């Protein structure tokens, strides 16, 4: 029988239950890590279609949450051109590969963005998670477990499309935030992503944010369009997280390599990101046992290891 954990998105298929925390040889014993650490909420920001605003939403939601006093870590899991570091004018020197090589600590790799938000820049290591060795997996989990100040929220800006990496991050996260805009291809691609995650990967709960809308009605209508098809064909639960208006100030901020919430805090987009941040703070907290950052990394790893076993 399948079990659904309300505080975690994914089903735990029997086949990978043997790979739950602490079961990876050489990893840190589960009980010692998960009980004391405060819960970290992991939010994967995704969309199906590219260019609809994932990086804008991740960066601005992250900065808005930081401004409200949360400790935020934004992980850039996209190797595309419009990266988080470019958008925020940060200059990465190291990435996770340097951590895996034992040359740098995770703290060395992290950059500081607006309002103290920390950023882990993109690295090809994340795309090739499946190719990392077992020891590297363990090293990665250890690096996260040794963070001096674990974040309250870990945001993951995923790549465009429906790649293995998008599936892996969405599956391991507590919340999957799907960005859509009012274009047929954005809606069909978001639907395709939701369909794949629910039918093949046991992810059933999604939060939807409508981006670049011209009115709040357009946002709620967009949400209705999407739920009309998901309710009809899929066994999923979609929650409306709100809308971000189309705003020239956001474009201006992108050109200045700044977050709109930082550069133009009174713009319509910035106010909407503030609301979105407030809303995310009200989402139910993840269960303590599933709320540690190393648990999330371990989920990424076990997903890949389970896949390697299932599809040699």
Ligand X SMILES: Nc1ncnc2c1ncn2[C@@H]1O[C@H](COP(=O)(O)OP(=O)(O)OP(=O)(O)O)[C@@H](O)[C@H]1O
Q: Report in angstroms how near the CB of residue 1 gets to Mg ion at its nearest.
A: 39
Number of CB atoms found within 10 A of residue 173's CB: 27
Q: Which does 292 bind (CB under 5 to 8 A by kind): Mg ion, ligand X, none?
A: none
Residue 251 CB, shortest distance to ligand X, in Å, is 4
What is the helix (H) or strand (E) element at residue 272, kind and residue range?
Answer: helix 268-282
Report the nearest approach of ligand X to the CB of residue 304 (Å). 22
Q: Is 158 an interacting residue with respect to Mg ion (CB under 5 A)? A: no
Asked if residue 95 lies in contact with residue 121, where contact means CB atoms within 8 angstroms, the answer is yes
Residue 286 burial (C-beta neighbours within 10 Å; 0-12, 13-18, 19+)? buried
54 binds Mg ion (CB under 5 A): yes
247 in contact with ligand X (CB under 6 A): yes
Could you tell me the smallest distance in angstroms from the CB atom of residue 91 to Mg ion? Answer: 18
Can you list the positions of beta strands (E) in 152-249? 153-157, 175-180, 205-213, 237-245
The only residue of 211, 292, 299, 304 in contact with ligand X, by rule CB under 6 A: 211
- Tokens 């919430």, located at residue: 261
The answer to the question of residue 145 lying near ligand X (CB under 6 A) is no
Return the residue of 38, 251, 257, 308 that touches ligand X, per CB under 6 A. 251
Q: Does 250 bind ligand X (CB under 6 A)?
A: yes
Based on the shown chain and the rule CB under 6 A, indicate whether residue 51 belongs to the binding site for ligand X: yes
258 binds Mg ion (CB under 5 A): no
What kind and span of H or E run contains 41? strand 41-46
Does the protein bind ligand X through residue 123 (CB under 6 A)?
no
Report in angstroms how near the CB of residue 74 gets to Mg ion at its nearest: 12
Examine residue 50 and tell whether it contacts ligand X (CB under 6 A). Answer: yes
Write the CB contacts of 156 (distance below 8 Å, at least 6 apart in sequence): 42, 43, 44, 45, 58, 74, 75, 77, 169, 173
Using CB under 6 A, which of the segments 76-84, 125-133, 164-172, 223-231 binds ligand X?
76-84
Shortest Å, Cβ 256 to ligand X: 12
Contact window for Mg ion (CB under 5 A) among 50-58, 251-259, 281-289, 300-308: 50-58
Q: Report d(CA 104, CA 87) in Å as an integer.
A: 24
Q: Kindly report the three-state secondary structure assignment for every residue of 46-94.
A: ECCCCCCCHHHHHHHHHHHHHHCCCCEEEEECCCCCCCHHHHCCCCCCC
What is the C-alpha separation between 130 and 303, in angstroms, rounded? Answer: 9
Q: Does 55 bind Mg ion (CB under 5 A)?
A: yes
* x-or-dash string of contact with ligand X, 54-73, rule CB under 6 A: xxx-----------------
Residue 202 contact, options ligand X, Mg ion, none, Cβ 5-8 Å cut-off depending on partner type:
none
- To which residue do tokens 């709100």 refer? 242
Q: How far is CA 113 from CA 33, 117, 187, 308, in A?
A: 28, 5, 31, 36
Number of other residues whose CB lies within 10 A of the CB of residue 135: 10
- Which residues of this protein are in contact with ligand X, per CB under 6 A? 47, 50-56, 78, 80, 82, 160, 211-212, 244, 246-247, 250-251, 254, 269
- Which residues of this protein are in contact with Mg ion, per CB under 5 A? 54-55
């Amino acid at each position: 029988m399948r079990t659904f954990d309300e505080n975690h998105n994914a089903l735990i298929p029997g086949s990978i239950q043997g790979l739950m925390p602490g079961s990876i040889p050489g990893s840190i014993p589960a009980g010692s890590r998960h009980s004391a650490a405060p819960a970290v909420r992991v939010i994967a920001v995704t969309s199906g279609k590219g260019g609809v605003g994932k990086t804008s939403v991740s960066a601005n939601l992250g900065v808005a949450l930081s401004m409200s006093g949360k400790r935020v870590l934004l992980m850039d899991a996209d190797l595309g051109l419009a990266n988080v570091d470019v958008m925020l004018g940060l200059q990465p020197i190291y990435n996770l590969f340097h951590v895996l090589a034992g040359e740098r600590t995770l703290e060395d790799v992290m950059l500081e963005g607006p309002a103290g938000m920390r950023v882990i820049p993109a690295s090809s290591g994340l795309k090739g998670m499946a190719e990392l060795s077992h020891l590297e997996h363990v090293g990665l989990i250890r690096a996260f477990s040794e963070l001096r100040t674990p974040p309250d929220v870990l945001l993951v800006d995923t790549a465009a499309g429906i790649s293995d990496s998008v599936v892996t991050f969405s599956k391991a996260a507590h919340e999957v935030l799907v960005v859509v805009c009012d274009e047929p291809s954005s809606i069909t691609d978001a639907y395709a992503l939701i369909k794949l995650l629910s039918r093949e990967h046991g992810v059933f709960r999604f939060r939807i944010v409508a981006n670049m809308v011209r009115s709040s009605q357009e946002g709620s209508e967009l949400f209705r369009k999407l739920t009309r098809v998901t309710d009809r064909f899929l066994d999923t639960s979609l929650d409306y997280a709100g809308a971000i208006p189309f705003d020239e100030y956001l474009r201006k901020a992108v050109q200045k390599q700044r977050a709109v919430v930082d550069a133009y805090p009174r713009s319509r987009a910035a106010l909407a990101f503030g609301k979105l941040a407030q809303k995310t703070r009200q989402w139910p907290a993840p269960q303590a046992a599933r709320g540690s950052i190393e648990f999330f990394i371990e989920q990424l790893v076990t997903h890949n290891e389970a896949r390697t076993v299932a599809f040699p």
